[in-house]
Chains A and B, each alone.
Chain A
Amino acid sequence: MKNNAIELKNIVTIYEGERIPVIENINLEVNNGEFISIIGPNGAGKTTLLETINGLLSYTDGIGFVFGKKIPSSKSEIRKEIGYVIQNFEIDPLSPFLCKDIVMSGRTGKIGTFRFATKKDWDKVWFSMGLVGMIDFANRPVGKLSGGEFQKILLARAMAQQPKMLLLDEPFANLDLTSRMQIETLLNRVHQRYDTTIIMVSHDLKKIPMGCSRIIVLNKGKIVLDGNKEDVLKSKIVKTIFNGNGKKK
């Protein structure tokens, strides 16, 4: 077996208590350092695919490896190497959490059980908060942040982990143009500087970052197209799925 970042063979994932697979017959190879966008309409199985990769969901059939280790049996080791940014979720404005603590929580797995955060860990927190331009927000409650600021904190949380791979679920959802451009620039910088493998999910063709070189199109739980950015964007399949205007049907 090659030492790819991701290797999935005939993966099928069915939610507990359900009969219909959310994703099926997924065959995917991702090299270390690739920047990939997974696109598809709502319900295509994009989030399920991401969560199968980091072991949050167990697949029902097939076999999968991440960094050469089998998922989900090695999930605890694999997760330390993967930074995950979940789809923008509602945050209670009265939430009792400060930004710096949220970013530090990204290092929980890296620090390990029965160990406490050291100065080194805090240095990594300050560094990743600086990277996303949120260092001044360290002592602010997360509930007081705007959508864009919160997204940056979630990204800083994932970066504080110093991951080999970033899985981003709709990172540009609910962001204004300025925030989107800032995060896009940041992702390109992280990809180039640290050679981090980035897999980003999006449902909007217009929001695919410049640095992304490969696009995977998911529809009804299956990979219908996988190729370089230019070719995929020109393909008829994408135009059919996205109705030819860059927006989902």
Chain B
Amino acid sequence: MIEFPLALLLVSIVGAVFAGFVCSTMGVFVVRMNLSPIGYLMSHAAFAGAAFGLMISIDPMIGAILFSFATALILGPLAEKARLQSNIVIGFLFSFMMALAFIFLNYIPGQAASGAALRILWGSILSVNYNDLLYLALLSFVLVIFIILFYKELLAIMFNRKLAESSGVNTRLFYFTVLFLTGFAVSLSLRIVGGLLVFALIINPTSTAYQFFYDFKKILIFSPLIGIISCLVGYYLSLLTDFPIGASIVIVSALFFAIAIVVSPKRIKGNKKKRMQASQT
């Protein structure tokens, strides 16, 4: 097991907790609002943006935020009207973003930067600093306030956007707010989880929580909780095995999801019901 100074360990543990919280909280909305294709693209745009930041010698986080916001602004309206199909996202836009990222990485000045480039690619415990913690804590606070203040609007939109709109909710405003908050969550978690895998931390914990609960409130509580646990267990696994932290977190969260699918009371009951119906007919 690798040994680190206590201060560094604490900073990175708290960072992992916050990253787990913000990503898997946004996951609840991304999954329910079918924003996965655009969220996926935004996370890779953030990676390209971070590489761009390194290339022009600014904070990669700023580049990540700018690129993910630009993606939300350009592609958000298309995705909103279901004109952005998943196959286009994966087949064309994803490869375009990755190509951009690798071109930017290629032009990063100096030898020392190659380590930084690799860190944004697959995440690193060592790259978390106090500023990252501060921003992540701030975003966590904003998310909690956002959910408390607009819970009823969010629930209405998550159930059915058209019905929510017909009840007087400005669904467009919430749609773009969710996109931008996702952009922030992805960009701020990039250094810990890595640009290639950060989107898994958005999807996996939420998908795991969906296997157990029928109450939206419980999903909102347990999805971040599962995200935090995935990050902490992944972090420990990373220390233990020297795996990249992003990969360890994603493996743990994927494992949780696989277990959830097997033991999900929702699916077990559903399967029993199906078997009973089949035996009656």
Contact = CB atoms under 8 A, between A and B. Distances in A.
Given A96-B219, A98-B215, A117 B160 contact: no
A79 B214 contact: no
Contacts of A86: 160, 162-163, 166
B149 A102 contact: no
A89 B152 contact: no
A117 B167 contact: no
A78 to B, nearest CB: 9
A111 B219 contact: no
Given A84-B163, A97-B155, A105-B156, A114 B168 contact: no
A104 B150 CA distance: 14
Contacts of B172: none
Contacts of A144: 214
Residue in B150, B156, B162 whose Cβ sees the most chain A Cβ within 10 Å: B156
B275 interface: no
Interface in B138-153: 149-150, 152-153
A178 interface: no
Contact of B159 (A93, A97, A109, A117): A97
Contacts of A141: 214-215
Contacts of A110: 167-168
A101 interface: yes
Contacts of B216: 96-98, 101
B214 A97 contact: yes
Interface string B96-122: 000000000000000000000000000
Interface residues of B, number: 29
A79 B160 contact: no
Contacts of B266: 94
A114 B170 CA distance: 13
Contacts of B67: none
Given A86-B160, A117-B152, A95 B214 contact: yes
Interface in A78-123: 79-80, 82, 84, 86, 89, 93-98, 101-102, 104-111, 113-114, 116-117
A161 interface: yes
Residue in A98, A108, A141 whose Cβ sees the most chain B Cβ within 10 Å: A108
B169 interface: yes
A109 B167 contact: yes
B213 interface: yes
Contacts of A108: 152-153, 156, 164, 167-169
Nearest to A112: B168
Residue in B168, B169, B211 whose Cβ sees the most chain A Cβ within 10 Å: B168
A96 B215 contact: yes
B162 A101 contact: no
Contact of A80 (B168, B170, B214): B168
Contacts of B165: 56, 79
B210 interface: yes
A76 B155 CA distance: 18
A56 B153 contact: no
Contacts of B149: 114
Nearest to B213: A96
B18 to A, nearest CB: 25
A222 interface: no
Contact of A113 (B153, B158, B163): B153
A54 interface: yes
A93 B273 CA distance: 12
Interface in B146-204: 149-150, 152-153, 155-156, 158-160, 162-170
A101 B152 CA distance: 9
A143 to B, nearest CB: 7
Contacts of A98: 214-216
Nearest to B220: A96
A54 B169 CA distance: 13
Contacts of A54: 166
Contacts of B156: 105, 108
Contacts of B150: 113
B269 to A, nearest CB: 9
A143 B162 CA distance: 18
7 contacts: A97-B158, A97-B215, A105-B159, A108-B169, A109-B169, A114-B149, A154-B163
Interface of A: 16, 54, 56, 76, 79-80, 82, 84, 86, 89, 93-98, 101-102, 104-111, 113-114, 116-117, 141-144, 154, 157, 161
Give me the 7 closest cross-chain CB pairs, A-B, nearest first. Answer: A109-B168, A141-B214, A105-B156, A84-B166, A79-B168, A109-B167, A108-B156
Given A94-B210, A111-B152, A113-B150, 14 more contacts: A76-B168, A82-B166, A86-B163, A86-B166, A93-B270, A96-B215, A96-B218, A97-B159, A101-B216, A104-B152, A105-B152, A105-B159, A144-B214, A154-B163
